[in-house]
Structure 1
Amino acid sequence: MLATLRGKAVKLLRRIWSALILPFLLAFFSNILLGIALWLPPLADHPVLESLKNLASRLSLLFFLPFLGLILLDRKALYRFLFILPTLLSPGVWFALFTQNIGDTLNSRRFGPNLPTPRTYRPQGAYRLPFQGFWLVANGGPDPETSHSWGILGQRYAYDFVIKDSQGKTYRTHGRRPEDYYAFGAPLLAPADGVVVRVQNRHRDCPWPGFVDPFAWSILGNYVLIRHGEREYSLLAHLKRGSVRVKPGQWV
């Protein structure tokens, strides 16, 4: 009985935290920036900035409460948080969060409660997985419980794939280098016919598997963006440097 209630509470808190993670980060860093601004002599003790800082401080604490409850009930959530903490050093992450927040706001205004879902949207063509052989979904799904990042519209239906060996490992040796992982540099295919819109092929490979490179200028790394139809695109991201063989304008 207690295990069932605990499981339901964890699922509920995950959904709440997924929706609040962006507002929390924005409030948290707004609090820091406003604190720095109030420290500067021209703005010291400015009443409006002081009020905004207090508001940001209270909101960041309020938004953090669901995650606090989550890590108290689910130890894995705490481990995941500590694991991704170094990624917060990356300016690319913060630029991505900023642009994603703008995109989410525009899409929310455009679609309102009628955001496309796998049940309501009909693709303009037939899609397939962008690889051959057997891969494992490491992260991603069509609902709030399994989604890559349900609270971020641009990543709501994103998927992370890995290759596992017969022992269930995703890497050779100790897995300390990108080259140790079976999926690193594996051939990828276009998920459907389309035109290549944009390509990045010069981003350095992160030397620490599992983390976002603090020196990265883009959270996508190397990628290929393909247009398959009117307002219908696919994005293949986190690719090996120098592995992209297509160019913008090329039909695939």
Structure 2
Amino acid sequence: MTATFHDLRGKTVFITGGGSGIGAALTDGFLAQGAKVGFVQRSDASAFCDEMEGKHGTRPLFVACDITDMHALKAAIAHTGTELGPLDVLVNNAANDKRHDALEVDEGFWDWSQAINLKAYFFACQAAAAAMRGRGGVIVNFSSISYMMGQAGYASYTTANGGITAMTHSLAREFGPEKIRVNALAPGWVMTQKQREMWVTEEALEAHLAKQCLKETLAPEDVVGATLFLASDTSRMMTGQLMVVDGGVVSAR
């Protein structure tokens, strides 16, 4: 960690998908700042919580939840506020970039994909804004550079990414009078364990690095600092914006 955001100490943060991949790095990063973290994911995260408690002396609050269940997602946000204190920061991070052929997508797959990658984001924002009303707060929505690049092979996912950015602009305008800031963060290709197991090949990685200005792969930790900045009062007059952390792919194309 290269910076300390003192105002995050004691803040209550809720992260979707906060026990693995980028989400785990975010949980770790916020705990290192002294924040109280609650998070959801479908798989058991007890071992990860043990690890974080041993590292930081503070145990994150884990709630098992499928974010396509909007009732369960809203209940998890409310539970976090009850257990850790009024919500200050929401980070919508959970997503699923399952590859698919556009000609083979049916309504069931489309609805499932949008539920994870866009619908859950909106209703988490709605629940968080209701909890922050009268006090102010911060929402960070994770998007992706994939939709900016016109990537093929997962049109439903990139559609949701574009929707997240558009939604962020609108919610920033609507929630601004309540002193709630809403920004989006678009990572490039981050080398999580899932990405390495499912999509990374030597040829694909070489081609992607050729597009980057910085010739290094992105790790989950590389997006943590930007998220902390957006969550902190350091960026207090920044809202409705999209921050890109991609090693220079978008600017280099």
For the criterion TM > 0.5, the same-fold answer is no
Structure number, greater radius of gyration:
1
- The one of the two structures with greater contact order (alpha-carbon pairs below 8 A, sep at least 6) is 2
TM-score by length of 1: 0.27
